[in-house]
Amino acid sequence: MRARYSIALLSIAVSTAALPPAADAVPALHRCDLGAKRPLRCGSLAVPLSRTDLSLGATRIGFALRPRSDRRRPSLGTILASDGGPGYASTAAPYVRSLSAVLAPLLRRRELVFVDARGTGRSEVVDCPSLQDGLIREFIAIGECADSLGPRRIAYTTAETANDLDAVRAALGVRRVYFYGDSYATLLGQAYAARYPSRLRGLVLDSAYPGDDPYYRTLLPAGIRSLGIACRRSPGCHGDAVGRFSRVVRRFHAGRRPTDRLIAFLLGAGTLAPRSYLSLDDGVRRFLHGDPQRLNRLVSAGAVGHGDLGEFSYGLEIAVECNDYPLLWDPRAPIDERIRQLDTATRKLPADHFAPFGRREYLLSRAAHLTNCLTWPAPGELEPPVPSGWRAPRSFPTLVLAGQLDDVTSVAEARQVRARFPRSRLFVAPNRGHASSIYYPFRSPAVGAIRRFLRQN
């Protein structure tokens, strides 16, 4: 049953440090079961779809509030949290359960608010069926998705989502918040800090991403390096894992076998590191000894499509990437000119940077994620996630985290992000990969670093 919180009840559920909002500003909250150990309070609020073009109308931003369990003592603060992607829903049960476990000892006296980024989960999810379900060739489905969104496609940006976060904060009557974001949501956290620094008590950027390299140059070198490290540290792995992998790539080339899924597995291996790298090496060793079944299973096509729309919107991911991320061509150019510029751009990095793959083989693969936006219409002049050259003030502390074996968002990128925050520290989780606190909330050393940071600040 839906029930509007009174101001008195809201002041219990949210931070007591907040000024009580006007009654009509309090969002209607209702009990909701998101798969956590305890029910949460879900709500939504209307915001402009585009704050620069109000003619596009409004959209609703959904969120879920986990009130602190100790109501007898004052709140120690409210944490706003957002999952990455872009495209993942923050109110999806797996994320709610995992982050609740990460923060469990802190939640007796802290509120936790899961905010679905616009276009995901409970925030009027972007639904492009052909793209989500993999029904047609992807470059066609991406253009079709853009057409279905029409003028609204310009509204799916990190800058607008940062404004939505602050709208949720204001609606809940909280003066200052902590923000936790993982993966892409670390770029969202930086965008929020650039626009609302006075609203932050602290910032946690887990597997930090600077969002400024159209080549994603760290991906492949970090994956190759992490494959070698994972093997050297495992008692069951011997010899030169990188050399073995290179020999398999040469075998693929000799047999004219496509390498796209081999590239894709390597680039995604940072997520479940080190186990994923060791699984890859096991398949590689078996392949070289005449048994290809293990490797074939690892690099098989798998299920078609991108899963449950309620948990992940691939249409939203594409929209944000094409609106926000740097591209290797002029987005105002026609498609044939974009392709020519992309071809020129692939020659700008040395060939050995992509070893054991060829330059064009790697950069033009689907796994490298560089060609997604070729058929996306020119977005026009949009506000970038983080202004060029921006540096944070010293008014709030920041924890930047990285996994030592992460190739999705590398340690090198985390150091770039840390440089934007003068009052920050970097924690590198040894022998762990991407967003390890979320994937391994009971085992990752990153969890302890997050808890210490929030306790101390």
**Model confidence pLDDT, tens digit, residues 368-416:** 888 899 999 998 889 999 999 999 999 999 999 999 999 999 999 999 9
Strand blocks (E) in 207-334? none
Are 445 and 430 spatial neighbours (Cβ–Cβ below 8 Å)? yes
Long-range contact pairs involving 298-301 (C-beta distance under 8 Å, separation at least 24): 298/265, 299/261, 299/262, 299/264, 299/265, 300/261, 301/261
* DSSP label at residue 6: P
The answer to whether residue 13 scores a pLDDT higher than 80 is: no
d(CA 417, CA 454): 19
Instruction: Indicate the residue type of 441.
Output: P
Write down the domain spans for the chain: 3-211+384-456, 219-302+329-369
d(CA 430, CA 224): 17
Taking residues 119-144, report their average pLDDT.
94
Q: Look at residue 276 in the predicted model and tell me its pLDDT.
A: 96
Pair of tokens at residue 155: 């509204």
- Cα 15 to Cα 2, 113, 196: the distances in Å are 22, 11, 18
Half-sphere exposure (Cβ direction) of 44: Cα atoms closer than 13 Å: 18
Instruction: Indicate the residue type of 442.
Output: F
**Model confidence pLDDT, tens digit, residues 303-315:** 678 899 999 999 9
Residue 20 binned pLDDT confidence (cut-offs 50, 70, 90):
very low
Q: Output the average pLDDT for the chain.
A: 91
> Counting Cβ atoms within 10 Å, is residue 27 exposed (0-12), middle (13-18) or buried (19+)?
buried
**Model confidence pLDDT, tens digit, residues 210-255:** 999 998 889 999 999 999 999 999 999 999 999 999 999 999 999 9
Longest CA span, the chain: 71
Q: At what angle do helices 138-149 and 314-324 cross, to 10 degrees?
A: 80
**Model confidence pLDDT, tens digit, residues 272-300:** 999 999 999 999 999 999 999 999 999 88
The answer to whether residue 8 scores a pLDDT higher than 50 is: no
d(CA 276, CA 77): 37
d(CA 457, CA 450): 11
Q: At what angle do helices 241-254 and 260-268 cross, to 10 degrees?
A: 160
d(CA 413, CA 398): 15
The answer to whether residue 46 scores a pLDDT higher than 80 is: yes
Pair of tokens at residue 334: 């026609």
Q: Choose between 328 and 7: higher pLDDT.
A: 328
**Model confidence pLDDT, tens digit, residues 55-73:** 999 999 999 999 999 989 9
The answer to whether residue 22 scores a pLDDT higher than 70 is: no
The answer to whether residue 301 scores a pLDDT higher than 90 is: no
Domain 3-211+384-456, CATH: 3.40.50.1820
Task: Measure CA 118 to chain center.
Answer: 14
The helix or strand, by DSSP H or E, that contains position 393, with its residue range, turns out to be: none
Instruction: Look at the alpha carbons of 388, 435, 104, 65 in this order and tell me if their dihedral is positive or negative.
Output: positive
d(CA 351, CA 321): 26
**Model confidence pLDDT, tens digit, residues 83-117:** 999 999 999 999 999 999 999 999 999 999 999 99
Are 431 and 274 spatial neighbours (Cβ–Cβ below 8 Å)? yes
Query: CA-based angle 365:185:269, to the nearest 5?
Result: 40
Nearest to 112 by CA among 100, 97, 95, 98: 100
The answer to whether residue 256 scores a pLDDT higher than 80 is: yes
Q: Look at residue 366 in the predicted model and tell me its pLDDT.
A: 83
